[in-house]
Structure 1
Amino acid sequence: MTASYREINYILRPAKSIERKMLGEAFRCLSIFSPVDQYQYIGFGSTYFSDFYVFHKTLNIRKMYSIERDTNNKKRFEFNRPFGCIEICFGESNDILPTMQWKDTKSIVWLDYDYKLNESVISDIKTVFSSACSGSVIAISVNAEPAPVGDRFNELIRNVGEDRIPVGIDEKDFNKWNTANVYRDVINNEIQETIVNRNGGLDTNDKLIYRQLFNFHYEDNAKMLTVGGILYSRGQEPEFSRCLISQLEFVRTHTEPYLIKVPNFTYRELRYLDTQLPILNNLAVKLPGIPQSDIEAYSRIYRYFPMFAETEL
């Protein structure tokens, strides 16, 4: 399989960039549990390290680990490492994650896969949720493109096993964004099962609770799902209530997704819209030839919207 970083420039994906900034805003709320700069960040940086760059610059996280499965290009990854605080761990995530330091270290984990949900992804999910300590946040991203018609249900059976497929699901439940909805259900079921098993021998106040916070749908060149949330002990319920993370507009705690829709505007149109925002009534903002739905979509994400420009370095 060709490494995706050789085919996709991860810097130039607007929906992904918006999602990254939204996640960063959510992570700031974790300071109720512990200073955010004391967290460790675990992710898949690829050669671009886009998430590492943002989270180090904005959150000052200095303990960072990038898991890279492409062991044939170690020198390229090392060359592109943007900060000295990033440790690159070469190997499969199934092998690396069990060796990480989880005890007494709060973690922000983004398992950002470029392929579909499968047994390997589920294995990583079970490892992280059976190991991460209270106050940790975990996000999982997977490709949610529907398989060819006629093979959608069977593909999921091949990828995750028939016993993991929610009751009542059949071929018709995978069109458009419904594949992402099915994936979310499979992932959440695995998370809850892992938490139940982990809580078996714990005292009441130490038992862990998982609260879903993220259910992003977005599409740059493929339909993608990011689902995840926070893990905390029952004794820390007051801290969770005070952190106010649930009040963020893009947080989704149930089945309803947050669709990151990126409208296309010229730079001049973007600059004009920014001068009008924020505003309570989006109907008051108009641009010639621009659908009102695009203006409303932009008003929801303008604070996170990336600006790309050609430049000579």
Structure 2
Amino acid sequence: MDPIRIAVVGLGKIARDQHLPAIRGNPAFSLAATVSPDDPGPVGVPHLARLEDLLNKGPAVDAVALCTPPQVRYGLAAMALKRGVHVFLEKPPGATLSEVAALRDRAAKVDATLFAAWHSRFAAGVAPARAWLSDRKVERVSVTWREDVRVWHPGQAWIWEPGGLGVFDPGINALSIITHILPRPVFLKTATLSIPENRAAPIAADLQFCDTAGADIHMDLDWRQTGPQSWDIEVETDAGTLKLSSGGAVLTLPTGTEHADDLEYAGLYARFANLIRGGRSDVDIDPLRLVADAFLRGRRETVAAFHD
């Protein structure tokens, strides 16, 4: 079976650190091209400034991985799908729920694969956590997702603009995990969004959710953390407490702690290849819906200006 010819569109940190190595490590894919108006791309790989140029002039591709900021992703994805090209959407899958739904419908009409990729769901501890929780009664959940924006997103102005999500850019990773591992649906009750006086998106958020059985779920998001970073989820159940730490890589159960290697993006690309070979799409919008609910229902408070 011939490898899937894929182009990576957008060559920021996530593309270079995660996407390119994952593609090179998966024999189901061959890196056919890269696209960026600013970055020349890796040596030896055909490079174009615009996706339109790639689709019109070649080299031929079967799929694209869109690693651009979410505000511009809809037009790129629609352009690719119009040509019957499969599309991998880095998280978040779009700037709005409506545009992601439109892309899902368009992909179905042209029989192309659309994959909304939630990389944190492929962290080593997530699948066994989901299995362990499947027959437990969840009593309480605490999510602490605190990191230093200057370390992880230095100088990225787009992330502070409408559609860039602010602290929900990392926070949506936690939401992608809890919507995947908890056995019942989750919805928002209250939220407070802390927005710097010189920015359009929040730098911190305090959120209260619950599941449909009434279990309390509290989330603490903050981009002002210095020193050790915190990416932790604790789930109290009738059988003891489950903890996912290091963004889901480390799972602690009442019986002990499990560690495994970080293979998130390898898992994403294995999933994408299987979807393409099977003629299917995977467009879960639950994490983005919860973010949208926070912006819809959350109380806003102005905090001190933020400068990189």
How high is the TM-score relative to the length of structure 1?
0.35
Greater helix content: 1
How high is the TM-score relative to the length of structure 2?
0.36
Greater strand content: 2
Q: Which has the higher contact order (CA 8 A, sep 6+)?
A: 2
